[in-house]
Amino acid sequence: MVKSGMLRINSSKKSLLHHGEKPIIAPDSLKIAARIENVIKNVDMNPRLRDYIYRLIKDLQNLIMTHLELAPYFRKELTELRLALKHLEERGEAQLRKKADQTKQRLDNVNARKMVLIKRENETQEERQKMFFTCIDEGIRMSVTERQVNLAAHINEAKNIKKEIQLIQKTLQGSNVTPKTKKVLLEVTNEISRMFAIDGITAMKLKNDVHEIKDMVSRGKQAEADLESKLKLLKVKVEKLSKESGARRDDTEKALNDIYRTMLYLDRQADLYSKPHAYLPPPKGATN
């Protein structure tokens, strides 16, 4: 389960907060690192390995706190390290050590190339905001670029809306509205639920419509005329927003893929440093 919290950073760290900006959301990498740090204290394991991982996590946290832009580069390794820690008893310390070494290698590579990766001071406010925060929780997916957005609050609100949709569909089973109206309502509510899995931010635009439908369904047959009229309008609105959510999801995935392509390119470049005249051209979409 993913929970997003707010991370307050000292304004003297220019890479994170610029004058007048609000606190930003802690990225996945910092949250995963914090979980590893908490869990490792109570796990029965080799003290030297525990100390190695603990120091590794501290170094990584310090780097990300200084240059938040580097956070996405560690998400994969930290996730695998956390899983290895979770399954320590069945997979053994050798697997955990392997994942810790991979995380250390990633940290060394990023440290060596961080000046290529961090944001420039002369970037505009709009360019600085092109940092994606993605949260996936109980079938709800939200990706934002606005630093001031509280993802935790949005996720909780989205969960409540999904519960309302489930209640609508449950109430509909015993409702006396016509089968045709039931069918249309099920199609519309199912599509809204699907949108939350693609782009929760866009799906949230339908929250007032869900409230209205819930009220109409609870009144049964006497509100059927209003319900039919509402569904006609809502069906068009849902189709439009569904296209928007798909486009937004594609844009987000493209941006994240650009990050990972750049990360892969830098890793491969690091491997070639010792070879004379070796040069690997940057991949399409890589940010140098």
Q: What average pLDDT does the segment 183-201 reach? A: 87
User: Can you list the pairs that 42-46 forms with residues at least 24 positions away whose Cβ atoms lie under 8 Å?
Assistant: 43/85, 43/88, 45/88, 45/93, 45/96, 46/93
Reduce the DSSP state of residue 200 to 3 states and report it: helix
pTM: 0.46
Q: Using N-to-C axis directions, what is the helix angle for 93-117 and 224-272, rounded to 10°? A: 90
Distance CA 115, CA 105 (A): 17
Predicted confidence (pLDDT) per residue in 126-157, tens digit:
444 444 556 666 778 777 655 556 677 788 88
- Residues 186-201, mean pLDDT to the nearest whole number: 87
Neighbours of 22 (CB within 10 A): 12
Question: Which comes out higher in pLDDT, residue 213 or 136?
Answer: 213
All residues at 6 or more sequence positions from 97 whose CB lies less than 8 Å from its CB, including other chains: 49
Q: Are 267 and 107 in contact (CB under 8 A)?
A: no
Give exposure, 165-174, as e/b (b: 16+ Cβ within 10 Å).
beebbeebee
Q: In whole angstroms, what separates CA 160 from the centre of its chain?
A: 19
Low-confidence winner among 59-63, 259-263, 279-283 (lowest mean pLDDT): 279-283
What are the tens digits of pLDDT across the range 87-114? 888 888 998 999 999 889 888 877 776 6
pLDDT tens by residue, 221-248: 788 888 888 999 999 999 888 888 777 7
Average pLDDT over residues 184-205: 87
